[in-house]
């Protein structure tokens, strides 16, 4: 059974989402929740971006002890110094160094040649290693990087002491089949790659972040970088909850597992929504409000007999004890009988179609119906029979 490390970047990449900034207190609170979730690595921030971020990483380090705390740094002395300073209270610390390696980034953003980038990697990974033993190196825009140069950059980083190599799909453009090719190319051609952790960081611009992350796991990576609710820049990051539950539910296929306490997934999702105000769509996988609800009569009849007819996830694994039957315009009598029994309502089973008809009349003018209104309608119909 393969063990996959979960690197959570909600507090760094996730917080960069428009409107999702957090106060220092909120960051510490959320980091504590990530510790309950049992993530392996918390990317706590980008220390060089502001004094606020540096202090937040320090406070998180004081309050969280189990996960590795990592601080992001560009390939320059000042960033690495700030990252190291931010981690001074961390029980387990990692400096995460990155530089862009695609032609478009090197030419248009860095204004550097390939040789200059390779020299910068050599200097800065070595410098970071002199301060901290655990060093992650990321090739920004790796999936648009020329193969030969990518392999050279990774080899230099490993030779200079990197302990994790991260391959980001920075702009979210790669497809699973293409990612498979890139990762296998790295595994087969970089000296020492088997001696370090291989990681991926997938963005969701084409809606492929989770698919690409799972493909990477099949290719043999042992760390995935992701965020709660999939938040992050632009269309977001790979969603932690989707990756974790895919591995858990399809363990027969992936033969991989994580250390995540799945009963804290929903709590983590809700806390993030409360802190940021960034709502989750109702049909969002794993954490959406509609995930385990059934309105169609055929589905309801199946679920009443056995949840496995239409649910592949055991809700107990997520700590959910929910009533998954929703009475709606498409519901049938089996669903209503089940609902009334759960509500403890005395009713005449032979009259169930009459109750259902009145409920559907109500739903023609109102899209949803509360348990209280169901009780009111059933009692009203029962009372009708008592009046001569």
pLDDT given at position 163 = 98
Of the listed ranges 16-25, 34-43, 83-92, 341-350, the least confidently predicted one is 341-350
Could you give the percent of the chain with pLDDT greater than 70? 91
pLDDT given at position 319 = 82
Between residues 36 and 325, the one the model is more confident about: 36
Q: Do strands 256-257 and 5-8 pair parallel, antiparallel, or not at all (unpaired)?
A: unpaired
Between residues 369 and 256, the one the model is more confident about: 256
pLDDT tier at 386 (50, 70, 90 boundaries)? very low
Cβ(322)–Cβ(292) below 8 Å = yes
**C-alpha to C-alpha distance for 163 and 96, rounded to whole angstroms:** 10
CATH code for 2-276? Answer: 3.20.20.70
pLDDT in tens, 132-179: 999 999 999 999 999 999 999 999 999 999 999 999 999 999 999 999
- Name every residue whose Cβ is closer than 8 Å to that of residue 200 and which is 6 or more positions away in sequence: 166, 167, 168, 169, 179, 183, 212, 213, 216, 221, 223, 224, 225
Query: What count of other Cβ atoms lies within 10 Å of the Cβ of residue 102?
Result: 22
Between residues 299 and 211, the one the model is more confident about: 211
Residue 123 has pLDDT above 60, yes or no: yes
pLDDT in tens, 219-274: 999 999 999 999 999 999 999 999 999 999 999 999 999 999 999 999 999 999 98
pLDDT given at position 387 = 43
On average, the pLDDT of the chain sits at 91
| DSSP symbol at 316 | G
pLDDT given at position 310 = 63
pLDDT in tens, 1-42: 899 999 999 999 998 888 888 999 999 999 999 999 999 999
**C-alpha to C-alpha distance for 353 and 247, rounded to whole angstroms:** 43
What are 227's strand-pairing partners? Answer: 239
Structure pTM?
0.86
Of the listed ranges 21-25, 343-347, 354-358, the least confidently predicted one is 343-347
Q: Calculate mean pLDDT across residues 172-198.
A: 98
Domain-by-domain residue ranges, the chain? 2-276, 297-384
pLDDT in tens, 59-74: 999 999 999 999 999 9
pLDDT tier at 285 (50, 70, 90 boundaries)? very high
Sequence-ordered strand ranges (E) for 243-287? 256-257
What are 136's strand-pairing partners? Answer: 96, 164
Q: Calculate mean pLDDT across residues 69-83.
A: 98
Largest Cα–Cα separation, the chain: 95
pLDDT tier at 383 (50, 70, 90 boundaries)? low
**C-alpha to C-alpha distance for 17 and 234, rounded to whole angstroms:** 7
Sign of the dihedral defined by the CA atoms of residues 8, 24, 172, 181, in that order: negative
pLDDT given at position 388 = 44
Identify the H or E element spanning 325: none
**C-alpha to C-alpha distance for 232 and 251, rounded to whole angstroms:** 27
Residue 308 has pLDDT above 80, yes or no: no
Q: Calculate mean pLDDT across residues 61-90.
A: 98
Tell me the CA distances in angstroms from 236 to 69, 138, 205, 228, 297, one per residue in order.
22, 18, 7, 10, 35
| DSSP line for 169-228 | ETTS---HHHHHHHHHHHHHHSTTGGGSEEEEEEB-TTS-HHHHHHHHHHHT--EEEEBG
Between residues 162 and 385, the one the model is more confident about: 162
């Amino acid at each position: 059974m393969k063990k996959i490390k979960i690197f959570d970047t909600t507090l760094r990449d996730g917080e960069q989402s428009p409107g999702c900034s957090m106060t220092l207190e909120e960051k510490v609170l959320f980091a504590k929740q990530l510790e309950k979730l049992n993530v392996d690595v918390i990317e706590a921030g980008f220390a060089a971006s502001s004094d606020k971020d540096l202090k937040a990483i320090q406070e998180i380090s004081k309050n969280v002890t189990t996960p590795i705390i990592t601080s992001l740094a560009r390939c320059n002395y000042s960033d690495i110094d700030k990252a190291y300073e931010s981690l001074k209270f961390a029980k387990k610390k990692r400096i995460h160094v990155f530089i862009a390696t695609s032609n478009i980034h090197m030419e248009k953003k860095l204004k550097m040649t390939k040789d200059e980038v390779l020299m910068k990697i050599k200097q800065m990974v070595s410098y970071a290693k002199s301060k901290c033993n655990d060093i992650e190196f990321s090739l920004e825009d790796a999936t648009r990087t020329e193969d030969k140069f990518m392999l050279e950059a990774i080899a230099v980083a490993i030779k200079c002491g990197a302990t994790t190599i991260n391959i980001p799909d920075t702009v979210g453009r790669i497809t699973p089949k293409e990612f498979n090719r890139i990762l296998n190319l790295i595994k087969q051609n970089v000296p020492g790659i088997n001696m370090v952790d291989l990681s991926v960081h997938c963005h969701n611009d084409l809606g492929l972040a989770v698919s690409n992350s799972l493909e990477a796991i099949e290719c043999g990576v042992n760390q995935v970088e992701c965020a709660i609710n999939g938040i992050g820049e632009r269309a977001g990051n790979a969603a932690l909850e989707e990756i974790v539950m895919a591995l858990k539910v399809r363990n027969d296929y992936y033969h991989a597992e994580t250390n995540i306490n799945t009963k804290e997934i929903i709590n983590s999702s809700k806390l993030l929504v409360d802190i940021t105000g960034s709502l989750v769509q109702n049909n969002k996988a794993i954490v959406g409000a509609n995930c385990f609800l059934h309105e169609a009569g055929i589905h309801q009849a199946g679920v009443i007999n056995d949840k496995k007819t239409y649910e592949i996830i055991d809700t107990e694994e997520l700590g959910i004890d929910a009533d998954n039957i929703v009475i709606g315009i498409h519901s049938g009598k089996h669903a209503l009988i089940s609902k009334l029994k759960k509500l403890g309502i005395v009713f005449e089973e032979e009259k169930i179609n009459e109750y259902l008809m009145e409920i559907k009349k109500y739903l023609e003018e109102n899209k949803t119906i509360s348990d209280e209104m169901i009780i009111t309608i059933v009692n009203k119909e029962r009372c009708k029979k008592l009046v001569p």
